[in-house]
Structure 1
Amino acid sequence: MHHPIALIIIDMQRGIQQLPERSRNNPQAAERIAVLLAAWRSAGWPVVHIRHISREAGSVFAPGQPGVEFHPPLAPLPHEALFEKNTTDAFLHSGLERWLRVRGIESVALVGVASENSVENSARTAGNLGFRTLVAEDACFTYAKTDFAGTPRSADEVHAMAMANLHGEYARVLDSDTLLGMLPQ
């Protein structure tokens, strides 16, 4: 018997498309997420959507802004779980942990944006809470940024470091095809 893995889709909202033009990695991430989402729905396994709601009035993620809406191909169905967060951690003050525990879900698979931000923070918390945590690295993405020492880092470098921070300690980092292989046939 397969124990279901909850697919947790983090911050795949229209506002992420409205960020200032910066170089990003994994341009196929949304398509990879859509493939995973379709497979999860077909298997009848739990799907959780996380929506970022900003506390800053001028943010594209502020309540009432179009940026809050989900990327249309990844929008939740009425019966799928939806949690809102206003920090970089999907578990903090959201009820997500309780929702998973009540359903006896012990494993989670995280995808979405940004690799070093909400994905990494949520995966760390999931691992620390004792969930078997998987991160599909090709279904996550981020943007180029300058590190603390002032060195510009490419989106690929930022992403790779985030995945390195997680793998083996907080989560198992894998690709989406490997994750798809975990679904019941």
Structure 2
Amino acid sequence: MELKGNAALIIIDQQKGILHPRLGRRNNPQAEERILDLLALWRRTARPVIHVQHLSHSPESVFWPEQEGVELQPRFVPQRDEWLVQKQVPDAFSATGLEARLREAGIGQLVIVGVATHNSVESTARTAGNLGFDAWVVEDGCFTFEKADYFGTPRTAEEVHGMSLGNLHGEYATVVSSARVLAAG
């Protein structure tokens, strides 16, 4: 695995609201630490960093713009020269101009982390793959929450996470560990 010198790190929805207890039990309690490890590497090597922020249409959402849950967590606030992409649907490419900015910058490889694995991460990674980007999803740099499946069967956060990664790997993206990305860096 080769990590390109201009590979972009895409950090999805690391906002204050994602820590709200009402979202339920999550997996990967160390995900934020893994994201910070990757962010440190990207900053040290001057690779592009893209922060994605969700602005919900729904007042019930933890990402509703008129409350503090919409704000990025302090440890994930963009630094100078880092991009901020604001989205209103799970897919970071939808109506944001992200694809055009990446193409203009000559970036073809994307390393995707953040939340929720089964929602914004999966949606963004699917589009990245469909658009021809070399997308990597960092399995221990993402997390999700417990959720019932379509038939009403409760699924643990680990099951939801694993199924989402299974949906992506080999078709839309390459699923990797943070250790492999750091070793390639």
Matches of 2:23 and 2:141, distance apart in 1: 20
Once the two structures are overlaid, the 10-residue window that deviates more, 74-83 or 100-109, is 74-83
Counterpart in 2 of 1:170? 172
TM superposition score normalised by structure 1: 0.95
Cα distance change of structure 1 residues 21 and 108 upon mapping to structure 2, 3 Å threshold: closer
The 3 A distance-change label for structure 1 pair 26 and 72 is same
Matched, 1:109 2:111: yes
Shift of 1:63: 1.7
Shift of 1:2: 4.1
Query: Cα distance, 1:97 vs. partner?
Result: 0.6
In structure 1, distance between residues paired with 2:146 and 2:43: 33
More divergent stretch after superposition (10-19 vs 113-122): 10-19
* Percent pairwise identity: 52
**Counterpart residue number, 1:85:** 87
SS in 1 for 2:26: coil
* Structure 2: segments with no counterpart, 5+ residues: none
Taking the aligned partners of 2:109 and 2:85, their CA distance within structure 1 comes to 18
1:146 to 145, 148, 152: 148
- Which of 15, 26, 37 is residue 17 of structure 2 equivalent to? 15
1:136 alignment counterpart: 138
More moved, 70-79 vs 80-89: 70-79
Normalised to the residue count of structure 2, the TM-score between the two structures is: 0.95
Could you tell me which residue of structure 2 aligns to residue 31 of structure 1? Answer: 33
Q: Which stretch shows the higher mean deviation, 35-44 or 50-59?
A: 50-59
Q: Which runs of 4+ in 1 moved over 6 A?
A: none
Deviation of residue 11 (structure 1)?
A: 0.3
On the 8 A contact 2:23/2:145 being kept in 1, the answer is no
Matched, 1:60 2:59: no
SS in 2 for 1:57: coil
- Give runs of aligned pairs for residues 36-55 of structure 1, distance below 5 A: 36-55=38-57
Contact 2:15 2:72 in 1 (8 A): yes
**Aligned match of 1:71:** 73
Alignment coverage as a number of residue pairs: 183
- Give the SS at the match of 1:165: helix
Structure 1 position 20, deviation (Å): 0.5
Distance 2:86 2:35 in 1: 19
By how many angstroms is 1:21 displaced? Answer: 5.0
* Unpaired runs of at least 5, structure 1: none
Distance 1:2 1:133 in 2: 12
Residue 103 of structure 2 aligns to a residue whose secondary structure is: helix
Which SS does the other structure have where 2:114 is aligned? Answer: strand
| Structure 1 residue 150: Cα displacement | 1.1
